[in-house]
Amino acid sequence: MNDNFIYKSLPKVRKEFEQSLYRKISIDTLNLQKKYSNPKKIRWHQVAFIVVGLLTLLAWSQIQFIVRYVPIGDLWLVEFNKVTSSEPAPTVFIPTPLATQRAWDGKTMPEIRIMNIYFPSWIPSDFLPIVPPQEMLSSHQTIGGWRNDSEEEIRLFITPFAGGMRPYAPAGMYKEVAINGQPAILIYGRLALRDKDNPQAQREWDEYLGLQLHWLLKNNYVYTLETFGAYVSEADLIQMAESMKEASWFSTPVP
């Protein structure tokens, strides 16, 4: 096919145009190289993007760490979303004189200047009284302890109600129960170290470590029964709490 006449008829590119475009894209190329050799300038939309990202991260972290105060009877429970924590327990305690005193199973009760303390009159079978560990740094006072042959324990603590005691638990890990018709908080499990050998390890809520029962008695002390192990049932713990009677050994001096 003879088509040379078409090629011959095509207009020539003007030299001025060819050269000016060459210069223009050369300059653009140099500018482009210069631009990429310099640190990249931050544009407004990039700044906005970063700000939005930070705000989203902040909102997410707030949701993760948010706590809710749930009233149960006269007590407040701190409900938190996060089931792991590297922080100390969020419970709020205010130290009282009781904290420095020693208490145990009732037979040799320390010299506590409380006139009407309560003590369970019913203990689950196979549990025998023990001397509970002394917790010098705690604001709550251990006043009783029991252990069975499987090394499972029950401990009884008291905390002045005025001290603002706040039990804590993740959502779904607690419920309201009644002790002799009065509202109480039953909590499943507690925070435990992920690595038992490392005290700095992150802690994680373990619902199978035992139960906690918190309730307020008329002497304005919050009583806490806590189990360590799976032996004691929810019903046993409530029965134990309902069996609380005013003890008569408070003037017993510390041995």
Partner 1 sequence: MSIFGKVNTSSSVASTEIDWESTYKDLLPRVYHYFCLRINDSLDAEDLTAITFERAWRNRKKYQKDLGAFTNWIFGIAGHILADYYRKKRSENLRIAENSITELSSRAVEEDFAHKDQFNRIVSILASLPEREREIFSLKYGAQLNNREIAKIMNLTESNIGTILYRIVSRLREQLEK
Q: Shortest approach of partner 1 to residue 40 CB, angstroms?
A: 16
Beta bridge partners, 84, equal: 204
Beta carbon of residue 19, minimum distance to partner 1 (angstroms, whole number) = 11
Task: Rule CB under 8 A: say whether 44 interacts with partner 1.
Answer: no
Among the residue ranges 21-29, 82-90, 132-140, 166-174, the one whose residues contact partner 1 (CB under 8 A): 21-29
Which 56-95 residues touch partner 1, going by CB under 8 A? Answer: none
For position 40 contacting partner 1 by CB under 8 A, the verdict is no
- Which of 1/42 has CB closer to partner 1? 1
Q: Decide: is 9 part of the binding site for partner 1 (CB under 8 A).
A: yes
Identity of the residue, 6 or 136, whose beta carbon is nearer to partner 1 in the bound complex: 6
Per-residue burial over 23-35, b if 16 or more Cβ lie within 10 Å, else e, is eeeeeeeeeeeee
26 is a site residue for partner 1 (CB under 8 A): yes
Q: Which is nearer to partner 1, 21 or 162 (CB)?
A: 21
Cβ neighbourhood burial of 86 (10 Å; 0-12, 13-18, 19+): exposed
The strand ranges marked E within the chain are 67-72, 75-80, 84-85, 118-120, 128-129, 141-147, 153-160, 168-170, 174-179, 182-193, 203-216, 221-228, 244-246
Say whether residue 115 binds partner 1 (CB under 8 A): no
Calpha distance 111→161 (Å, rounded): 20
- Segment lying near partner 1 (by CB under 8 A), choices 14-22, 134-142, 198-206, 236-244: 14-22
Tell me, what amino acid is at 2?
A: N
Number of residues that bind partner 1 (CB under 8 A): 25
Contact 227, 148 (CB under 8 A): no
Position 4 contacts partner 1 (CB under 8 A): no
**Least distance in Å: CB of 90 to partner 1?**
56
Minimum CB separation of residue 46 from partner 1 in Å reads: 20
Pairing of strands 168-170, 75-80: parallel
Q: 120: closest CA among 249, 248, 222, 245?
A: 245
Binding site for partner 1 (CB under 8 A): 1-3, 5-15, 17-18, 21-22, 24-26, 28-30, 32
